[in-house]
Structure 1
């Protein structure tokens, strides 16, 4: 799949530069295809197209909400029609097991479009308030403008539509910058946008590396930035936006805790435990990768996780039997293996994994790895590994469990496992994190999602995700 043009202004356009971004299969290392590497001139062109679509009389923000919603529904239908190809394309690039890709990359984007189309059609843009001490004020919600959406590679389409769907519903236009590791699936998105008959310039796509992203973030034609990715990159983007006083939403890293209470029925939740910690090969920002286990049940929990990891089917991402696929790249595998060495050197007990699986000599595979007897202060318990590596730390009593869960620079997600949901909810309320799942974890598309501390700024999803792409105007009269 060789993509030769950029999707800008509703058309396939020749890139300004001559470089390309090559993509290889995470499972085999074989060449999959390429896409143009955008340059600053391409970003200028894309921002101008988005600016024109926003500023023009009768442009996208001036469409009636019902008309915008109808266009979004058409895009959802086009994505549904191509969902199988989209899932396979993502899976081949980043190693996501195809069963996971079919659910997330194949279905969630259309779900989000339909959800936000409903909010767009139903929401009033104006509210009249009785003033204090006098008068009346009309409070208006207006689209914020041109959005720079910087996307990640681990759930490339799902996370893209965390931004695209609410921005479209609000009346914004967008310039998308896909991650270099996943530049083929955006071409399928562009085809769907064409099929849906979107107006020129509402959605523009410019692949590129960090330099292109930095140029887009600081572009004078951009009104808001939305970024999903690493905390380190998020800090640089936050600094650039602070200097410009530019609104920014940051969904960053995580090191979430799974708090297993002493009454948890683990046999009833084995599949949920696996998915909470190892979904997408551990390449998931919200994954519960720090297991906090009550000392009274510690050996049992260590054995459960060890058996779970040993029994996982590791293989080609495109095989429906696969539970753990490869990592996205050789560089990511090297990074994860470095953390495994660090865990060993710091004295953690390796119960299973730690190497490369036998018989998988091509691609970027790492065995599912479990470390027990891990100090919460250790490197592997504090830093985001982004691979199939879980740590297990014992605790004594709920207070210590909560203290350990909160003893982290991150605060994106987490889970609590218990047979008493009221008790679980009480514990969850004490954990300083953006979201918590009880006996499982799946982000709720209707509720705010995002992090505290080093896990980011702002919220996506739910009505709050729509509000992030709106700004307020008050019109007062006495």
Structure 2
């Protein structure tokens, strides 16, 4: 296991970042972040209480109502976003050191991914010039000489990010919010706050005006203060569907705006023209990514009945070649789950599936060779689409293989879920894959692989969320269109 002096990465983990300053938490409490590979404390950070969250909200509100940020030009704000993006590039190695120690992602995946984060900030900086911030209409029907649609910032944003991929998820909330002219309170997960602190350091370094971004780490009770406070105009939340429903209900009470990126139970449709072995190789790799702790992971594998057993055997062979271990070991193909309760949840769901009569083809338990860390074997289970294991989000390295009589039934199975985040179609016929993709009820559909790209756009149908993040639509989520009808007085 690679060792690390946390103090060499983060300068103020014992503080909160509020109104441009590192301040002590009024709660006086701290949170221990546990390394999921060693079960030892990796990092201790200040815990924000309700009063601390309220102080952060007040700073963001003041910065929006009275500070320079919303009154800058888009080009002026873009200058700061480019500086943040460039600083993220410089600290990509720090990100890659923190991320595995918080949630178990392999360093081999974290390091190249960390190098892409800066581009998210630069992309939204680029929209300062290319986005149509103001649109003109001549001779409006109800009078006046011309009308304008101007896009105004929605206001003060509460950004709530989860523990699995915080550095990426917060970028696609904050970068569009900032270029729009919003100010924000970023609420980090108690399990993975490190990259939020890193971003706060960068914002201080580039001279972001006080109060524009405030960073706190808090548990659910203090987080709810952020959602309920009338000074917060919009919530951007990524997390479970259960929590998302609660947030949506609270926001509805005061008609606050919200974007919700929630859970998934995504399907991979393996059509008869696609090689089973090639499909299995792709699915093994994506199922092991981040130990399956990805909301868009392909966890339902739908295949023709006559090739079902062949696909199960190919998945079993692939998973049994994956080495489980230290995320910093180049030989490891999968790391641990993020926390003890997550491993216990995965274990309980697999045990329940077994009790329901589902067959565990491989995996399904904690590896006997590792007596420390929250590891779980990659698992293949055969099921029908009506079984619990095929309907509930697991958030671990567990896939179910489901038989379909034909393509029509495969599409019906894929759509028969309360979720609608992601799907994939494996076919050598691109036209057929496209036609099926148009019939699938999900926010993203990939071709011949698990695919997800927040730089283009990300979000879900049904209980997988409301709204979109990433791309141009991710910017629109932080804007309010305003109609102005004018007379020509010249």
- In the alignment, what sits opposite 1:184? 194
- Distance in 2 (CA, whole Å) between partners of 1:341 and 1:238 is 32
SS in 1 for 2:33: strand
Contact between 1:276 and 1:287, CA under 8 Å: does it hold in 2? Answer: yes
- In the alignment, what sits opposite 2:81? 72
Does residue 259 of the first structure (1) align with residue 266 of the second (2)?
no
- In the alignment, what sits opposite 1:469? 478
* Superposed counterparts of 1:205-224, under 5 Å: 205-224=215-234
Aligned-pair distance for 1:341?
0.3
- Distance in 2 (CA, whole Å) between partners of 1:321 and 1:143 is 47
- In the alignment, what sits opposite 1:454? 463
- In the alignment, what sits opposite 1:348? 358
- In the alignment, what sits opposite 2:403? 394
* Superposed counterparts of 1:232-271, under 5 Å: 232-268=242-278, 271=281
SS in 2 for 1:225: strand
What do the CA deviations read for 1:200-221 (whole angstroms, capped 9, x no partner)? 1111111010011100011121
- Distance in 2 (CA, whole Å) between partners of 1:396 and 1:375 is 12
- Distance in 2 (CA, whole Å) between partners of 1:71 and 1:410 is 37
- In the alignment, what sits opposite 1:4? 14
- Distance in 2 (CA, whole Å) between partners of 1:124 and 1:433 is 28
Distance change in 2, residues 1:321/1:169 (3 Å):
farther
- In the alignment, what sits opposite 2:392? 383
Aligned-pair distance for 1:60?
0.9
Contact between 1:88 and 1:318, CA under 8 Å: does it hold in 2? Answer: no
- In the alignment, what sits opposite 1:124? 132
- Distance in 2 (CA, whole Å) between partners of 1:275 and 1:134 is 60
SS in 2 for 1:357: coil
Aligned-pair distance for 1:87?
1.4
Q: Which sits farther off after the overlay, 5-14 or 193-202? A: 193-202
- Distance in 1 (CA, whole Å) between partners of 2:66 and 2:285 is 46
- In the alignment, what sits opposite 2:121? 113
Distance change in 2, residues 1:281/1:137 (3 Å):
same
Q: What TM-score, normalized by structure 1, do the two folds share?
A: 0.97
What do the CA deviations read for 1:98-119 (whole angstroms, capped 9, x no partner)? 1222233x13321210111111
- In the alignment, what sits opposite 1:441? 450
Aligned-pair distance for 1:133?
5.7
- Distance in 1 (CA, whole Å) between partners of 2:169 and 2:212 is 18
- In the alignment, what sits opposite 1:309? 319
What do the CA deviations read for 1:364-416 (whole angstroms, capped 9, x no partner)? 000001012x0111110000000011000010111100000011010001111
- Distance in 2 (CA, whole Å) between partners of 1:101 and 1:227 is 22
Aligned-pair distance for 1:153?
0.3
Aligned-pair distance for 1:441?
2.8
- Distance in 1 (CA, whole Å) between partners of 2:363 and 2:131 is 51
* Unaligned 5+ runs, structure 2: 1-5, 8-12
What do the CA deviations read for 1:122-170 (whole angstroms, capped 9, x no partner)? 2232111122365421111000111000110010111111201111111
- In the alignment, what sits opposite 1:98? 107
Aligned length: 475
Contact between 2:281 and 2:315, CA under 8 Å: does it hold in 1? Answer: no
* Unaligned 5+ runs, structure 1: none
Contact between 2:36 and 2:104, CA under 8 Å: does it hold in 1? Answer: yes
Contact between 2:277 and 2:314, CA under 8 Å: does it hold in 1? Answer: no
Contact between 2:445 and 2:451, CA under 8 Å: does it hold in 1? Answer: no
- Distance in 1 (CA, whole Å) between partners of 2:431 and 2:142 is 44
- Distance in 2 (CA, whole Å) between partners of 1:398 and 1:475 is 51
Q: Which sits farther off after the overlay, 437-446 or 294-303? A: 437-446
Contact between 1:261 and 1:293, CA under 8 Å: does it hold in 2? Answer: yes
Contact between 1:34 and 1:183, CA under 8 Å: does it hold in 2? Answer: no
Aligned-pair distance for 1:272?
3.2
| Aligned CA-pair RMSD | 1.4
Q: What TM-score, normalized by structure 2, do the two folds share?
A: 0.94
- Distance in 1 (CA, whole Å) between partners of 2:465 and 2:112 is 26
- In the alignment, what sits opposite 1:202? 212
What do the CA deviations read for 1:61-113 (whole angstroms, capped 9, x no partner)? 11111111111111111111111111111111111111222233x13321210
Equivalent residue for 2:70, pick from 61, 69, 77: 61
- In the alignment, what sits opposite 1:297? 307
Equivalent residue for 1:154, pick from 160, 164, 170: 164
Aligned-pair distance for 1:4?
1.1
Equivalent residue for 1:283, pick from 293, 315, 321: 293
Does residue 320 of the first structure (1) align with residue 326 of the second (2)?
no
Aligned-pair distance for 1:270?
5.2
- In the alignment, what sits opposite 2:10? none
- Distance in 2 (CA, whole Å) between partners of 1:395 and 1:271 is 21
SS in 1 for 2:217: coil
- Distance in 1 (CA, whole Å) between partners of 2:268 and 2:287 is 8
- Distance in 1 (CA, whole Å) between partners of 2:107 and 2:96 is 7
- Distance in 2 (CA, whole Å) between partners of 1:299 and 1:342 is 23
